[in-house]
């Protein structure tokens, strides 16, 4: 689930200043201390309002036209039912949790190198354990 979805969905809730996003929201139906760090808030705002080729931000179209919100979820998350309920309220649409999707398995070639093209995993694989 994109952080942008929880911050500015439709016309219901606006938290468009980094200073506001760096404090826990007062509008959740449950107590929370979740908040963005300032640099995270700046990036989320940039991503939310960056115009695409159509002239509108990428998140607007799916939320305006879609009938349901589908998201990855983690049943072990303590607040998941409350968060799903909140997301449904914010979107004005039913939310369909799909469960947790583990990362794709990494493949090794004959030489033992990573073949997924991901430099970070390759770098981590070359580090000593411990």
Question: 3-class DSSP state for residue 51?
Answer: strand
Residue 54: half-sphere exposure toward Cβ, Cα within 13 Å: 7
**Local confidence band at 37 (pLDDT 50, 70, 90 cut-offs):** very high
Q: C-alpha dihedral over 3, 5, 7, 10, to 10 degrees?
A: 170
Token duo for residue 126:
């070359």
pTM exceeding the 0.85 threshold for the entire prediction: no
Q: C-alpha dihedral over 66, 4, 71, 64, to 10 degrees?
A: 0
**For the chain, which residues make up each domain, given as ranges?**
3-97
With 50 as the cut, is the pLDDT of residue 8 above it? no
**Average pLDDT, integer, range 44-56:** 79
% of the chain at pLDDT higher than 90: 5
**Average pLDDT, integer, range 51-71:** 79
């Amino acid at each position: 689930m994109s952080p942008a979805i929880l911050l500015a969905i439709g016309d219901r809730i606006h938290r468009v200043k980094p200073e506001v996003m760096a404090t826990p929201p007062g509008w959740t139906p449950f107590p929370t201390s979740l908040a963005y760090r300032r640099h995270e808030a700046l990036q989320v705002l940039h991503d939310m309002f960056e115009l695409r080729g159509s002239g509108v931000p990428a998140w607007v179209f799916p939320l305006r036209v879609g009938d349901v919100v589908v998201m990855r979820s983690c049943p072990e998350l303590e607040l998941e039912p409350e968060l799903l309920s909140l997301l449904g309220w914010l979107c004005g649409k039913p939310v369909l949790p799909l469960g947790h999707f583990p990362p794709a398995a990494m493949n090794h070639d004959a030489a033992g190198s990573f073949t997924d093209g991901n430099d970070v995993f390759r770098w981590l694989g070359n580090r000593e354990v411990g």
